[in-house]
Structure 1
Amino acid sequence: MNKDKTQLFHAGLSQDETNALSAYGFSAGSLPIRYLGLPLMHRKLKIAEYSSLIDKLNRKFNSWATKSLSFAGRCLLIKTVITGMVNFWTSTFLLPQQGCIRRIESLCSSFLWSGATDRRENAKIAWKTCCLPKAEGGIGLRNFKIWNLTLLLRLGWLLFSGSSSLWSPSQSWSWRCILSLREILSRFLFSEIHSGQNTSFWFDNWSPLGPLIGVFGREGTRNLRVHIDAPVSASCNAGGWSLPHLRSEQEVNLHLYLTGIPLPSIDRGPDQFFWLTNAIKNIVFSSSKTWDALRPRAAIQDVAKHIWFSGATPKHAFHFWVTNLNRLPTRSRLASWGLQVQIECCVCNSEIENRDHLMPTFHYAMVLWSQVRRHLRVSVPSFTDWTQLIHWTTSSSSTAPGNLRMMVVQAMVYNIWQQRNNNLHNQTLQPPLVVFKHINRHIINYIYALRHRKKFSSLMQLWLI
């Protein structure tokens, strides 16, 4: 051990004991310090002490060449790099909601929608929606508050799983954080009674009723004549369960359960703790299953599996997701926010500019649809709104399977919006046949790249005339 690179930390020692330790030649250190990149101290961290994490995320965001990144590329970086960096902290500390987690989510939202953290562009979709799974209308990002709780539940699991963890009950801040999660922990931590000596009769989850203290209250200790700190084994003897005469429906339900399980015995070994998710017992902690049980939920959207189909162009799928939620900043939408803008279409100047006008019914789009009809050799109806367009896109036929339809429509929607923006900001608008030439080349290249996949092997001959 190198004395020049080592410091000695101690607490609660007398002066003589401190002097004796200093004789070994180690310099004395004092808290707080940083260990493996994390602040190490005995007290609760202050909000300012999380600034190193915020600064690190800011540097990472600013280091990326964001101008060349699409929305889908930014989303992928948040899912992988940023979430990985935050995981290191969220698996150790209970991060404050106001001063830390919201700041992290604000940085991620700014980067996703504007490409930088120092620019403030209105987010097209709320962050809580972005944190939903794709099947429920989101893009699968993490809700960092719930993810923080999920990872910290593992620390509670280590106390019961019999692992060689260093965690031990004390009055430290970390221990108090674990205690604050007791209510959530009781939803997942289940004890299977063997000896009955390792499971608390009142506070552990060992019966279908859940923790009995929540069922019977403090008065239950008197009614059932079981001490508040007693293990399960204290409520039985060699002759059976030693509970008093039943007085309530809850006591009857408990008695029915007890008579159906083996009597605790030391010969059966120690009690076994399980992590219960979706009514399935697991002998190891699963962060993914726990996250799925805790995360916010929304209704399943059938169109999601078509938007995010295997083989989709990421930037096209992302833009189509925004369009499907009707979050494009069209002129009519900007006017509904109170902005003083014209609501007529910036291309045709005759109709109100909204999603249903630009994508299905816009004369520019109609030319593109005629080309699609010619390539797919199917009847493409005259769409009057977005719902009809989605219905046609998610259907299938022998000459126009669903994945080919969605690939074509996503490319069209992306290019129509791109041309609308070029006309609005740069006063340039390419002819629709020129735009379709780019769409056609993209589809051919993409089908060729995925030709070895079973669902794409026959698409080339269906698309080419």
Structure 2
Amino acid sequence: MSVFILPQSIVKEVEKLCRLFLWGASGKCSKLHLASWHQVCLPKAYGGLGFRDGASWNIALLAKYVWAISEKQDLLWVKWIKVIYLKGVNFWNCVMKQDSSWYWRKLCHLRSKFSKREVLAAGISGKFKPSKLYNSTINQQLVEYKNAIWGRTILPKHRFLLWQVVNSYLLTKDNLARFNIQLNRLTCPVCEYHLESHNHLFFDCCHSKRIMSFIFAWLGFQAWSSNYNDWVVRLNIGQSGIMDSILNLVLAAVIYSIWRNRNKCIFYGYSLTASCIAKEVITLVKYRLYIVHNRKISPQHKLFIRKLQCN
């Protein structure tokens, strides 16, 4: 991609392999998922997963040649271009000739994809940053939950699930019903009383509440709201202190464990007790907190972490 403009058929095949890797495969098709490929290809700061849209990324990579010509870099091929094609004319104003090479025509066509200002802005300290140019074309608002979800303290698989929960992308039964998928029951597979939704499964279900009570008792205070919407608002505040990192770590581990237990109920027909799940979460968090010791934190926070690891 950094050398040639790839055929669209190849780009689509690469993207197909990425989708199969991300969501899993059923035959030659990716499994059912709610997140669009456009959403997945957004940077994490804009609410996506940081994948790249193949065609746009291909063009952004090739724009480095346009930047080198515009900046008149001291390169042999740039000097050759100036003598053969430009002949004293600015690249952005030059007219393609019929006998121009295929590659030169492709470079000239890139002028319709980006403005001169955008290309030059992607050059930082004498180096071209294709990601900066790629992001400049995104017409999307920044999300505030980026630091809360993608913090290094949280386990990678927990981050991915937490991203889905925040955006209501999990395949809960209320979401499956939207696709007219026939289900025997729409009730929560854990408590079997209420319609399964993100709000119910993680916050209203009696089993989840018992897990939360064990976790709150271990923490020594109530770390987050017991309401789904209020919890999403809390994540969008965008706090990045050490206490927020710890609470987000705990929350991500709790949500992951609840979702895994829900799947056990559906596929294996049994559920772990709330105390057993809470113990698993606490053990995982205790080990994960060791990576925080290397950070520069206050004695008060160090004492709080030691208490958690000793309890």
* Contact 1:393-1:402 within 8 A present in 2 as well: no
What residue is the counterpart of 2:116 in the other structure? 187
Give the number of aligned pairs. Answer: 285
What residue is the counterpart of 2:76 in the other structure? 164
* Contact 1:415-1:435 within 8 A present in 2 as well: yes
CA distance in 1 between partners of 2:285 and 2:160 (Å): 17
* Contact 2:186-2:195 within 8 A present in 1 as well: yes
| Among 182, 191, 200, the residue aligned to 1:348 | 191
CA distance in 2 between partners of 1:411 and 1:346 (Å): 20
1:142 and 2:52 matched: yes
CA distance in 2 between partners of 1:444 and 1:281 (Å): 42
What residue is the counterpart of 2:105 in the other structure? 176
What residue is the counterpart of 2:19 in the other structure? 109
Residue 392 of structure 1: CA displacement? 5.3
Q: Rate the CA distance shift 1:387–1:186 in 2: closer, same or farther, 3 A.
A: closer
Amino acid paired to 1:164: L
User: Please, which runs of 5 or more residues in structure 2 have no aligned partner?
Assistant: 86-98
Percent identical pairs in the alignment equals 24
Amino acid paired to 2:7: P
| Among 120, 138, 156, the residue aligned to 1:276 | 120
CA distance in 1 between partners of 2:245 and 2:128 (Å): 38
Q: Rate the CA distance shift 1:158–1:303 in 2: closer, same or farther, 3 A.
A: closer
Residue 323 of structure 1: CA displacement? 0.8
What residue is the counterpart of 2:135 in the other structure? 292
CA distance in 2 between partners of 1:395 and 1:375 (Å): 25
Residue 163 of structure 1: CA displacement? 1.9
Residue 184 of structure 1: CA displacement? 3.6
| Among 299, 304, 316, the residue aligned to 2:158 | 316
1:123 and 2:43 matched: no
CA distance in 1 between partners of 2:260 and 2:26 (Å): 21
Greater Cα offset, 161-170 or 339-348: 161-170
SS at match of 1:401: helix
| Among 180, 189, 192, the residue aligned to 1:338 | 180
> Cα deviations across residues 242-292 of structure 1 (Å, max 9, x unaligned)?
xxxxxxxxxxxxxxxxxxxxxxxxxxxxxxxxx6217x8865533233223
Residue 382 of structure 1: CA displacement? 6.6
CA distance in 1 between partners of 2:103 and 2:34 (Å): 38
Residue 394 of structure 1: CA displacement? 7.1
* Contact 2:144-2:238 within 8 A present in 1 as well: no
Residue 416 of structure 1: CA displacement? 0.3
CA distance in 2 between partners of 1:307 and 1:423 (Å): 27
* Contact 1:276-1:282 within 8 A present in 2 as well: no
> Normalising by the residue count of structure 1, what TM-score does the alignment of the two structures yield?
0.56
CA distance in 2 between partners of 1:381 and 1:125 (Å): 26
SS at match of 2:120: strand
Amino acid paired to 2:205: F
What residue is the counterpart of 1:202 in the other structure? none
Amino acid paired to 1:111: F
Residue 357 of structure 1: CA displacement? 0.3
CA distance in 2 between partners of 1:395 and 1:462 (Å): 27
* Contact 1:188-1:277 within 8 A present in 2 as well: yes
Larger relative helix fraction: 2
User: Please, which runs of 5 or more residues in structure 1 have no aligned partner?
Assistant: 1-89, 190-274
CA RMSD of aligned residues (A): 2.8
1:92 and 2:3 matched: yes
1:426 and 2:268 matched: yes
Residue 376 of structure 1: CA displacement? 1.7
